[in-house]
Amino acid sequence: MKLKVWRQAGPDDAGRFETHELEGVSPQMSLLELLDVLNDQIAAAGGEPIAFESDCREGICGACGVTVDGMPHGPVPNTPSCRQHLRAFGEVSALTIEPLRSAAFPVVRDLVVDRSALDELVEAGGFVSLMAGTAPDADALPVTHEAAEEALDFAACIGCGACVAACPNGAAHLYAGAKLAHLALLPQPALERGRRAVEMTNALDEQFGPCSTYGECAQICPAGIPLTTIAVVSRERARAKRRKRDD
């Protein structure tokens, strides 16, 4: 297997591709295991290992995102990088691996990018303010089964940022829409629904590009967040403006 991997010493470095030859590669290997083998080979030769992020390696944390042959995460739809196995690539003898590419995600080193722009969206409004004191009874705010299940579907977003990298505009509407929809469906977070919509959509406009409904984001999303979620951003913004005008 021939690997063409992006190397970049830091944010101010121009960066370059390095090519390595690997032997003993099996179809059962994941992309991250492939990088592990490569780093073992580089370290044994006295070189500097390639920096990349990973944590759970179970498709839960969202830390592992890389771009493979121009596709965020890899060729299997709705699957994170750590769950992409070489058997899905077919009879290939070469791969190109680079960071998630987006103006909102500057490269920190090699395959590691800074995704703090997503954190700023959450800081702007993706939280719930609660009164301190005695915890309320569990049944004080009833939630229907249907609402709870739908909220959990939106909350499944793992924040990997692949939707942004896949979008030609670098938009994060799928991510922001999932956060807004998740919190709008539940009674306690809904108390801040209008303020959250305004502040999160303002942060969205500042940090990311506009959504043009290309649809690549939904094809990449490991959590399977549907493309219709991007409409939540406009809906929640319009709702907040309408209610403010009525008040």
- Residue 52 sits in a domain of what CATH number? 3.10.20.30
DSSP state of 12: T
User: What pLDDT is stored for residue 205 in this prediction?
Assistant: 95
Neighbouring residues of 126: CB distance < 8 A, sequence distance ≥ 6 = 179, 183, 196, 200
pTM of the model: 0.93
User: What pLDDT is stored for residue 191 in this prediction?
Assistant: 86
Check whether 7 has a pLDDT greater than 70. yes
Taking the C-alpha atoms of residue 76 and residue 194, their distance in angstroms, rounded to an integer, is 37
Check whether 115 has a pLDDT greater than 60. yes
Which CATH number do you get for residue 135?
1.10.1060.10
Supply the mean pLDDT for the chain.
93
User: What pLDDT is stored for residue 225 in this prediction?
Assistant: 97
Q: How confident is the model at residue 240 (pLDDT cuts 50, 70, 90)?
A: very high
Domain boundary residue, one of 65, 81, 109: 109
121 and 225 housed in the same domain: yes
Structurally, how many domains does the chain consist of?
A: 2
To the nearest 10°, the Cα dihedral for 9, 10, 12, 16?
40
123 and 217 housed in the same domain: yes
10 and 93 housed in the same domain: yes
Instruction: Report the side by side order of strands in the sheet with 16-21.
Output: 16-21, 2-7, 94-98, 67-68, 71-72
Beta strands in 116-196 (DSSP E): none
Check whether 246 has a pLDDT greater than 90. no
Q: pLDDT tens digits, residue range 97-110?
A: 999 999 999 999 99
What's the chain's Rg over C-alpha atoms? 20
